[in-house]
Amino acid sequence: MKHVPIFDDLKRIGDDRVTAIGMGTWGIGGYESPDYSRDKESVEVLMHGLELGINLIDTAEFYGAGHSEELVGEAIKDFEREEIFIISKVWPTHFGYESAKKAARASTKRLGTYIDLYLLHWPVEDFRRIEETLHALEELVDEGLIRYIGVSNFDLELLKRSQEAMKKYEIVANEVKYSLKDRWPETSGLLDYMKKEKMALIAYTPLEKGTLARNECLAEIGKAYGKTAAQVALNYLIWEENVVAIPKAGSKAHLEENFGAMGWRLSKEDREKARRCV
């Protein structure tokens, strides 16, 4: 079996250490339905990321109607499983005690392995359904299908309420949209609260679909570090002690660029300048 190289820019999720930059898989294997046209390339890209030393992969049952999970399972099969951290998510239509358990089992079957972190993908208005789902996930931890429980797209109030609903385990992460352009976790108090709670904030769409990678102001800041605009934008996020970013692993070239956002940090002054670039 292949080993994932140990890279020293690590963050904590639960008791595990993960790379500060992970691999997002939204659109890999399709969007709302499966797309098999780029399967070989997608698997090769994910494997390349693991070979570089990125040990975190984010997927969901909703991505490609489960096909994204199948591709992740294919990509990891020749690597030491314990060296990889896999995130997946249950879609709101599968919230509820029995439905969530069934969805998790289906996801583990597609992945061919257990799930390290299982998230409630989006909040719903009826909190009782959220509560039932969280309690189902606690049982899934006991069963060994998942290792940690988290949420996604939860604001501060709902996150606190969800924490209070837990009976046995803690919520260890919240995955939200966060970028230099969209800094609502900072302005809402969510980021500070999660720091205090030692909870990982997983930032999706960190490059705003490539727009930040083309920002000339960020590129100018990056020159002093020998880095690109995209690497500056990602480094801005992982500068925070509890933030992990998951840009899409779209190609080997982009993956290598994302990897180069780790292992260094912007100065406080340049980080402040980066805020003013958008």
Helical H segments across 153-275, by residue range:
156-165, 184-187, 190-196, 216-223, 229-238, 252-259, 268-275
CB 248 within 8 A of CB 215: no
Q: Which of 118, 195, 124, 186 has the alpha carbon at shortest distance from 161?
A: 124
Residue 157: Cβ within 10 Å count: 10
Q: Helices 39-52 and 67-76: crossing angle, nearest 10°?
A: 50
DSSP 3-state percent helix, strand, coil across the chain (nearest 5) = 45, 20, 35
Q: Report the distance separating Cα 144 and Cα 154, nearest Å.
A: 25
- Residue 84 to residue 116: CA distance in whole angstroms: 9
The Cα–Cα gap between 111 and 68 comes to 9
∠ CA 79-207-181, nearest 5°, is: 145
Q: Which residues are catalytic?
A: 63
> Is residue 229 helix, strand or coil?
helix
Own/partner pairs, 226-229, CB within 8 angstroms, 24+ separation:
227/260, 227/261, 227/264, 228/257, 228/260
